[in-house]
Structure 1
């Protein structure tokens, strides 16, 4: 059958479909809707938005439509016929599957940007962004993103189910290491295997589970009675990484790593980062096998090594939005970029060789002229959020305002209840203010009482100390008094008695008469007074 006959058959089918009003409605919607996202039913090669909207308009790309321009007019006509036939096939698919495109039209309406009269350059830029399509690589990248990279284990025999593998790993870690792990997903793959080999890709939910499985010593020797191996080690996640800033390029990285591990034993690896020209920079990435240690270091914000304090920041994962590192456009990788010149991420100037480019160091986003780098995550996010237009169909007008009537009984009762509620709320506010003032007074009283109690306790402590000192002094005085009393009783009093006796013997004159008759009486009276004084009696 010739191409002309095929074209005629397609035309007839389209005409037949237009007889149905429902099909015709869907056929017209196709021209106002975007191409649906890539799914299993409509995946086919399409033009990639590799060209940046800042280089040239999309009209030029639509004319080329990813086909090479040739000077042969006949060949160009054949290409146009082929494109028109492909578009007609799409129209037929729209007619046969109206619900799918209807849902997509509802989803894609929020990504249409209204033209701006103030800035024609941004208007052209937004129109170019609307015509960008999501590549298959971008869709797979977004659909397969999980929090942590998978652990891959390879079996060479047996036929084990995914659930049994996950359950046995959980039970082994719980029984032997008292560790509970959370597995988000487990998949079976034979993509990179040979003959009877098959792999299991184990995805975990949290950082603790990743740290537990990252240590190969915690894995069982066998799973479900089968031996297994590790074909590769998962890449370290950004959730367990930190960035050390301003590390001098002259510092030996091995010595720096040893010093870090001496301070923090949970550090797994230390890596000096490089720029896109593979030159070392002053940022060092730290990989830590402990979420607790990472959070402690991150909360401190600083790390001291060999007397030098370094600033610590969180290591951010690459943006989920695809940004070309060559032209800074959104939606494709660098390998798919069709631009010849590169774009500086800081100033946004295009040049053939970025190595020879002298940047002005003035940040200017190429997407909407913001004061930040072109590859910043907020640039792509704002670029997407700005491309939003409120469709009138989704926002119907409000009903006409009705006049407020206050004559009805229902309205009066409602107003009365509202007034009562307002007065009650005012009373409640007054009560709350009174309670607050009382609470403040009570707090002031308690503070004063606490201060007075502290002063009283201090004075009591001083009195106790003084009393103890007095007791010590009194004890010393008692010892001295006892010593003096013993001296008087045992030494002085006997000496006085002997002296008195001697004086009495010599109180006789030559003729044997007493010289002083009252001398003995005086001596006895004085001796009695001394005894009374010693015995605390009245003299």
Structure 2
């Protein structure tokens, strides 16, 4: 609800008769607003129609219990509410008091009568006025086209400009989206390449691991063959040569050969014990 105050009574009556008003090409319904009349209430005697400064009562009246006292600060109120106007059990300053309501309605009625009388007088006065164009100056020149632009057109132009800006932003956003989508595609392709390379490396690692296990098996097999077959066979050969290098008394025929055979025995023992050779 919007309250409109008018200084011209004729315009007011015309609007009330039309019951509508047009603002910026929009029609609004209007009704007459009659505000309630303000009621004057004395805070000293709690009577209506005057203020405390105009009050003729010597003592002050308690707004709660209704008793009178010389000074309200020293007054001992009974806290029992009693209105000094209607005698009912409510505060004397209550605006809903029947006496206050009756006084306000009567005051409002009188104000309306005065307003209606003034409106009729103004209409009669307007009827008695004879308009003579020669007694009035010519109307002002028309306003420039810049000032007479339709506000709806201005709003539409602003809206079109805003839509153009939104369109440009959407185009930029679409371009950024395409770039981001291309980036995601390239990233997915790169990830697939990395995954493929990792799978290849994993397969090669498994093959290499298998080959290492197989080679270790071959080495262990050859090592067992060397230690369990060739070395004992060589020891038997050296033992046979050592027995052939002795005469009937058990003495060595070739001392140098005996030393070599002993050295070979020591080296073969180190081989079986995983010790390094010595010259």
TM-score greater than 0.5 by the shorter chain: no
If asked which structure has higher relative contact order (CA below 8 Å, sep 6+), I would say 1
* TM-score computed with the length of structure 1 as normaliser: 0.23
Q: Return the index of the structure with the highest Cα Rg.
A: 2
* TM-score computed with the length of structure 2 as normaliser: 0.41
